[in-house]
Amino acid sequence: MNKPSKHKKLKQNSSLNPKRTSKVSVRDSILQISDLSKIYKMGEVTLTALDSINLEIFSGEFIVILGASGSGKSTLLNLLGGLDQPTKGKVLFHGKDIHLDGDEGLTRFRRKHVGFVFQFYNLIPSLTAIENIELVTDLKTRSMKASDALDLVGILDRKDHFPSQLSGGQQQRVAIARAIAKKPEILLCDEPTGALDFKTGRLVLEALSNVNEVLKTTTIIITHNESISEIADRIIRIKDGKIIADDYNKTKKVIDEISW
C-alpha cells in the first residue's frame, strides 16, 4: 500500500478528520476500518454497539479511544483485534480483510500481529513473571527474550517473583511484557489502568509509552479516563456506537504531568 501523503484525509466525515502532525506524518496505514457495524440481537431486542464506523490507523501511532461505558469502545477494540466478527463492514490489516479466512485466519492474525492487555492481568499464578512470558516466546520463533521484555517495562528485577508476590501495577507490567514479547505490530489495551490508583497507573502508562517509542508498536488504549488521553498522539471519542471526534493531540503531556 502506498504511503499516505501528509495531508491525506481519513475515511471519516471531514469534520472528524484529524490534522496530522510531523510526528505521525508519512507513515504506512496499518488498519483501515470501513463501514463497520456490530449489532446484537437478544430476542426481540436489537442493540447497535457500533454504527457504520470508518477509521484509518497509521503505523506507530499512540492512540487513546475515549468513551463512557456502553459507548462501543470495547466492541471496536474486539473487532480490531479479531476477537469478534462484525455484522457488516471490513477491518483491513495492510490492505487485507482479517475476516476473509474465517476463524483460523483470525487466530493466525491474533497470534502473529496483535498483543492484548486487559484490565485484569490473567497471569498464571503458579508461574514466575519470566515464566509467564516464556509461555508466549516459546510459541513464536521471532520473539523477544523474556528478560528483554521485562526490562523494557521496567520490572526485570521481579522476574523470579510469582504473581501473588507482585503489586497490581507490577502484574500489569508483566502482562504488558507478555503481550509485547512476540513483537506484535499492534498492541490493544482495554482499560489497562482501570483497577489501579493513579500513581501505579502512571507506571503502567509509562511502560506502554516506552513500548510505543522503542518498538514503534501501534498502541491503542481504550478508556473512560479523560486524563489518559493527554499523553496520546491522537484522541478518538466514541459515543452511542459512533465516532464523534478524531483529533491529533496538539498539547501532548508527559506522564508525570497527568493525574486522576
Could you tell me the pTM of the whole model?
Answer: 0.86
Residue 9 lies in a domain: no
Q: Where are the alpha helices (DSSP H) in 17-101?
A: 73-80
Q: What is the pLDDT of residue 13?
A: 39
Query: What sign does the dihedral 102-182-184-204 (CA atoms) show?
Result: positive
pLDDT digits (tens, 9 = 90+) for 7-20: 333 333 333 444 44
Give the residue from 221, 215, 255 showing the smallest Cα distance to 238: 221
Q: Where are the alpha helices (DSSP H) in 58-193?
A: 73-80, 102-113, 129-137, 146-152, 168-180
Residue 2 belongs to a domain? no
Within its chain, how far is the Cα of 123 from the centroid?
19
227 in any annotated domain? yes
Which residues constitute the domain of residue 211?
14-257
The per-residue pLDDT for 149 is 95
* Predicted pLDDT at 131: 96
**Cβ-based neighbour number of residue 40 at 10 Å:** 11
Q: Which of 50, 47, 48 is nearest to 35 (CA)?
A: 50
Number of domains composing the chain: 1
At residue 163, the pLDDT reads 97
Q: Considering the chain, what percentage of its residues have pLDDT values greater than 70?
A: 88
State pLDDT tens for residues 70-95. 999 999 999 999 999 999 999 999 99
Average per-residue pLDDT for the chain: 88
Residue 141: predicted pLDDT? 60
C-alpha–C-alpha distance, residues 95 and 133, integer Å: 31
Average pLDDT over every residue of 20-25:
44
| Residue 58 burial by Cβ neighbours in a 10 Å radius (0-12, 13-18, 19+) | buried
- Over residues 131-171, the pLDDT tens digits come to 999 988 766 667 889 999 999 999 999 999 999 999 999 99
> Is it the case that residue 227 has pLDDT exceeding 60?
yes
In a domain, 161, yes or no: yes
Residue 82 counted as domain residue: yes
In CATH, what number is assigned to the domain containing residue 211?
A: 3.40.50.300
The answer as to whether 4 is a domain residue is no
- Flag whether 135 is in a domain: yes
Beta bridge partners of 116: 188
Alpha helices in 1-53 (DSSP H): none
> Count of CB atoms within 10 A of residue 44's CB?
5
Q: Which helix (H) or strand (E) holds 42?
A: strand 29-42
Is residue 248 included in any domain, yes or no?
yes
Alpha-carbon radius of gyration of the chain = 18
pLDDT of 195 reads: 86
